[in-house]
Amino acid sequence: MKREKQNIRHLSLEELEAYFIDRNEQKFRVKQVWEWLWQKHAFSFEQMTNLSKALRQQLANDFSLPALTVDATQYSADGTVKSRFKTFDGHLIEGVLIPTDERKTACVSSQIGCSLSCKFCATGYIDRKRNLDYDEIYDEVVLINQQSERIYDKKLTNIVFMGMGEPLLNYKNVLKAIERITSPDGLGMSPRRITVSTAGVAKQIRQLGDDKVKFKLALSLHAANDKKRHEIMPINDSNDIHSLVEALNYFYQQTKNEITFEYILFNDFNDSPQDADELIKIYRQVPADLINIIEYNPIDFASFTKPSEEKTDAFMHYLEKNRVNARLRRSRGKDIDAACGQLANKEGH
């Protein structure tokens, strides 16, 4: 039986060194291969042109180098670019490049599908197939960065884990991907420019505090009392608002990192002055930096609608009057289903 070859990117630098020592190869080869894997983004051993043909062949015999490929790309009228990526085993995930004058942000996925079934999110209606490996998450960033350089002549400035899946349910791979993205021998990005968004897994939020992570955290709140939140986000059963408030405070004590709340406005559901009051109460209990109020983007499966401009303005005004740092996030990429909550990999029908 043919044994599964090990993915070479799943080796640590030390393991790669041991492999070369075993084969009496010179030590500088390790650095060369490591650079090809994490800095020059070789997607095959053939591309490692400063290695001898024999060594490239040897590596190809001993290891696999699975990489994401771009399966389809859509361009929005507002400059947003959505990519459908294909994994080595044929799954599809989506990532988005969101450009503004000051920033080029990559919105990346962490799972294939999602197990949380949030009622307003297209990904929530797809079963979770598997977690993405850290090198696959890394590839998303690399490929979106290449797009940014090609289209806008600028490197990525920010990364948000707000694509498909719940990052904290793929904890190890997400942290390892961020370690490679921020490492000087990886993409060398500042962790302060990375935001991980969670639907709220209290235990893992505390774990982030214990692990003293350096990136920012965003909590998708979307309803400011347990009854409503439970209706739209089943995860609230096991992670109620009280437990999340405690976990966020613990995270902040341990890391002093920025925390934001995400709050999608749904018409006649969470957009009344009373809802705003409840939201303010939660905001006051956590050292949160900001509340992002998000325009709802309708999806086929859900019955929610977007509130009128007047209602949205009134809600924002109420928050501001109460000295809450809130920002209205207008949707980007709606015309290509690339906006918040719309990522679902519509297959070509």
Catalytic machinery residues: 94, 340
Within 8 A by CB and 6+ apart from 160, the residues are 105, 106, 107, 108, 194, 195, 197, 218
CA separation for the pair 82, 101 (Å, rounded) = 18
DSSP state letters, 107-134: E---EES-SS--TT-GGGGS---EEPPH
The Cα-based distances of 159 to 18, 114, 156, 217 in angstroms read 33, 20, 8, 12
> What six digits make up the tokens of 1?
């039986």
Is 332 exposed, middle or buried (CB count within 10 Å of its CB: 0-12, 13-18, 19+)?
A: buried
CA separation for the pair 214, 208 (Å, rounded) = 9
Tell me whether strands 81-86 and 92-99 are parallel, antiparallel or unpaired: antiparallel
DSSP state letters, 246-288: HHHHHHHHHH---EEEEEE--TTTS-SHHHHHHHHHHHHHTT-
- Side-chain half-sphere exposure of 61, counting CA atoms within 13 A: 6
> What six digits make up the tokens of 200?
């709220």
How many residues comprise the chain? Answer: 349
What interhelical angle do 309-321 and 273-285 show, nearest 10?
40
- Side-chain half-sphere exposure of 145, counting CA atoms within 13 A: 18
CA end-to-end span of the chain, whole Å?
39
> What six digits make up the tokens of 332?
């980007």
> What six digits make up the tokens of 8?
């070479």
